[in-house]
Structure 1
Amino acid sequence: MFLALREIRAARGRFLLMGLVVMLVAALVGIVSGFTTGLGNDTVSALRALPATHVAFAPGAKSDQFNRSLVDASTVARWRERPGVEAAPLGVTIARGTTDRGLEIDMAAFGVEPGTFPAPPVRRGTGLDAARPGLVVSGKLASDGVRVGDTVTVDRLGLKLPVTGVTDDLSYGHVPAVYLPLDAWRAIRFGVPGAATAPDRLPQDVSGVALRARPGADLAGADRALGTLSLPMSKVLEAAPGYKGERVTMTSIQVFLYLIAPLIVGAFFAVWTVQRAPELALLRAIGASRRRLLSYTVLQAALVVAAGTVAGGALALATGLLLGAAVPFSLPAGTLAGTLAAVALVGLAGTCLTLRRVTTPDPLTMLGAAR
C-alpha cells in the first residue's frame, strides 16, 4: 500500500492523465446508458404501464403488430370466455390534433373499454366514461400545456374530444399517449376524412386483445382455437416502432466502449510496467515476493480505475441534469451503479495484460547483468 501510493504521488501527472481517460470512458458509457434507458421509456412506457401479461394479435402480423394487426369483436368475445384469462380489447394508433386554445399535438391514441384493466389511472381530473367520450392524456402533454377541460379536435376528422383527466408520463413510439373509449378510437382509426360515420357503421376491430393470464392458462391452445398470436409483454415491446433498432444500436455502442476500456487501461499499465522494470527488479533483489509485487500493481490499477469511474459517473449524472427534459434521458441509480461496476471490472481486467511482466522481473537487471 505504501509503495503504491508513493509511486502514484511521484508520477501523479501520468496517473492523473490515466484517471481522466477512465473518467471519460465511464462518463460516455453512463451517458449512453442514460440515452438507452430514456429512449426505451420514450418508446414503450405506455406498453410497460399496461397491466397485462400478454397481447393477442392477428396471426398474420409478424412485426409492427399494432399497425398491422386487426382482431374482430367475435374473437375478443371468445377470448373473454377462455378459462384462466382476463381479456380486454385494445386499440393503438398514431394521430394528430389541435386543442381549442390552438396547441397542436401528436398523440398515440390507446382505445380501451372504460372500467377494464387497460384503462389508465388518473392523477388529475376523472377517468374514462363510456357514456361521455373524452381523453385521458399523458403527463407529457399536460407539461406541454394541455389542460383538463380543453377540447382536442382530431385532424382531418373533425372529431372533438374533451380532456377529462391526466395520467402518468406515458408515451409510445416517442409520441405522448392518450386514452379514449373504443368507439372514439375506431373513429380515428377507420374514419374517413370529411365524413361523419356512425359508430355502429365502423369496423368493430381492434389492434389486439390485452390478456392477464393466470398460471397454467393454455394460451397456445387458445391461439389455435381462436386464430390469434399471443405474445408476452417482453415481445410486445418490440411491436413499438423503432424500439428494437434503437436498443440494438445503443447496446452495440456500449459493447464497443466496454471493449475499449480494458485496452486503454491495459496499454497504460503495460507501458508503465516497462518503464519501471528496474525498480521492480530491485524490489525482487531485496526480497520482495511476486505476490507482493502483484498486489501492489493491482492496487494501483484499482485506485486509478475506481477514482476515474466514480468521477465519470458523476459527470454522466451532471450531463443528465443539464439536458433535463430536452431529450429522453434516464439514468436510475441501479442502472448507473451497474454501468459503473461493469466499467470498473473491464478496466481492471485490462491490467491482467501486464501482470506477467510484474511477476517475472529479473533481479540481475539491477546487479548489472544487462550491461
Structure 2
Amino acid sequence: MFLAIRDLWWARGRFLLMTAAIALITLLVVMLSGLTEGLGRQSTSAITSLRADQIAMERPASGEALSMSTSRITPAALLQARTQPGVRAADPIGITATRVSIDHMPVPATLFGVDPGAAVAPRGVSATSTVVSSDLASDHAVHVGDIVDVAGTKLRVARIVDDASFSHVPVVWVPRSLWRHTSGAAAGECSVLALRTTKGYDAAAFDSATGLVAKSKGDSLSAIGSYSAENGSLTLIRVLLIAISALVIGAFFTVWTVQREGDLAVLKAIGARTGYLLRDALGQALLTLLIGGGIGTAAALGLGLAARGNVPVVIDFATVAVPFGLMVAVGLVGAVAALRRVVTVDPMTALAGAR
C-alpha cells in the first residue's frame, strides 16, 4: 500500500476529483434508496403492518390486474375462506378512498373498515371511536380525544398509530358497518381478507375452493395502486446509477494505470512481483472508494435526517449501509478492468517507450 498512498498523494488533484465524483454518486444512491423506501412505506405500510400471513382479494376479470381498492368479497366467499384447511382466521377489511372532516375541513383519507375486536383491528376501533395514522394527525393537528366526522358520523379519536398509509394517503380505521355506508358496499361485503394460516394451508387449494386470489403480504403489494410502477422506476434509476459508477471508476483507474505504466515497469524490472502490484492497485481503488463513499454516505445521512420531516425518506441500515457497501463492491469490480495493464506490462517495452 506504500506505493498506492504515495501515488495518491503525488496526484492528489486527480485523487480529490475522483473522490468527489464517487461521493456525489454515493450521495445520490443513498438518498434515492431512502426515498424509494419512504415512498414505498407511504403506499404500503397499512398492509405490511397487518397481523396477517396472506392477503386474499377478489379474482379480477380477464385482462385486469389485482386491485385491493376495487376488490369486493361476498359474505359467501368470506364464509368459504374461513372453512378452508390451514386457515386459522380470515378477518375482513374494507378499503375505500374518501374524505373525512376535521374541524369542518375536508381531508383526504383511506378508510379501513374492520370488525371491532378482530385481531386485524387496531385497539380502540368501536362504533363511537376511530384510530388514525400519525401522518394525518401531524398534518392536521389531531390529538387523542378529538372528533373526526366520517360521512356524517362523529367518531372520537381513540389512538394514533404509526405505519398506516395506503397509496400515499393516511388511513382512518373505522367499524366495517360505517365503511359499508360510506363505500356503498352490500351487507357483509369487504375488500380484502387478512388470513392467518397454519402449516396445513395450501394457496392453490384455497384459491380454487374460494374463487379468490391469496398472496403473501409482500406479493400482495403489487395490488396497491401504482406501487409497482413507482417502485420499479426508482429501483431502475438506482441500478443505472450504480452501473454508471462502475464505468466511471473503471475508466478513471484505467487512465491512471496507463499514466503509471512507466513506474510499474521500473518496479517489475527491479523484481516486484505481479501479485504485489495487483494488491497495490486494488488497495488504491479500495482506499479511494472508502473515502469518497464515506463522504457521500455521511452527506446523505445528514441530508436525510434534516429532510425527514418534509420528505418521505427513510434513514436506516438498509438504506444507508447497504448502498454504501454495494457502491464499494461495484467500484472494485470496475477497478478490476484496469488491472489488465498491471498484469501485462512489459518492463523493457515500457522503459523503451518512456525514452
Alignment-derived partner of residue 19 in structure 2: 19
CA separation in 2, counterparts of 1:28 and 1:232? 32
**Structure 1, residues 141-170: CA drift from partner, whole Å, max 9, x if none?**
22121122222223xx43333322222241
CA-CA distance at 1:108 after TM superposition = 1.1
Q: Given that residues 22 and 292 in structure 2 are in contact (C-alpha distance below 8 angstroms), is that contact kept between their aligned partners in structure 1?
A: yes
What's the TM-score, normalizing by structure 1? 0.90
Structure 2 CA distance for partners of 1:367 and 1:135, relative to 1, 3 Å: closer
Moved more, 332-341 or 85-94: 332-341
1:112 deviates by 0.6
Aligned match of 1:142: 137
AA aligned to 2:114 is V
Given the two structures, how large is their TM-score scaled by the length of structure 2? 0.93
Code of the aligned partner of 1:37: E
Q: Which residue of 1 aligns with 2:101?
A: 98
Number of corresponding residues: 351
Gaps of 5+ in 2: none
1:102/1:68 CA distance change after superposition, 3 Å = closer
Preserved contact between residue 66 and residue 93 of structure 1 (Cα < 8 Å):
no
Contact 2:43–2:165 (CA<8 Å) still a contact in 1?
yes
Residue 159 of structure 1, aligned match among 149, 153, 159:
153
- What SS does the corresponding residue of 2:65 show, helix, strand or coil? coil
* Aligned partner letter, 1:128: V
- Paired with 1:306 and 1:208, the residues of 2 have a C-alpha distance of 47
The equivalent of 1:323 in structure 2 is 307
Aligned to 2:73: 71
Is the Cα contact below 8 Å between 1:364 and 1:370 reproduced in 2?
A: no
What is the Cα deviation at residue 253 of structure 1? 0.3
Q: State the Cα deviation string for residues 269-321 of structure 1 (Å, max 9, x = none).
A: 11111112111111111111111111111111110011111111111111211
Whether the 8 Å contact between 2:262 and 2:351 is mirrored in structure 1 is no
Residue 82 (structure 2) aligns with: 80
Distance in 1 (CA, whole Å) between partners of 2:96 and 2:352 is: 80
SS at match of 1:68: coil
SS of 1:161 mapped into structure 2: strand
SS of match in other structure, 2:128: coil
State the distance in 1 between where 2:217 and 2:267 align: 60
Paired residue secondary structure (1:225):
helix
**How far did residue 361 of structure 1 move?**
2.0
TM-aligned CA deviation for residue 370 of structure 1: 6.1
Distance 1:274 1:287, change over 3 A: same
Match of 1:231 in 2: 215
Distance 1:370 1:146, change over 3 A: closer
1:258 corresponds to which residue?
242
The answer to which of 58-67 and 133-142 deviates more is: 58-67
What corresponds to 1:54 in structure 2?
Answer: 54
What is the alpha-carbon distance in structure 2 between the residues aligned to residue 234 and residue 140 of structure 1?
23
* Counterparts of 1:222 and 1:261, CA distance in 2: 47
SS class of match (2:328): helix
1:370–1:208 CA distance, 2 compared to 1 (3 A): closer
Offset at residue 369 of structure 1 (A): 6.1
Counterpart for residue 232 of structure 2: 248
Letter in 2 for 1:149: G
Q: CA deviation at 1:21?
A: 0.6
Offset of 1:84 from its aligned partner? 2.5
Identity level (%): 40
CA–CA separation in structure 2 for the residues paired with 1:216 and 1:236? 21
1:128 counterpart residue number? 125
Q: Find the aligned partners of 2:278 and 2:41 in 1 and give their Cα distance.
A: 45
Deviations 1:56-104 (A, max 9, x none): 22222652522221111222123223342111111111111221x2444
Cα distance in 1 between the residues matched to 2:99 and 2:142: 14
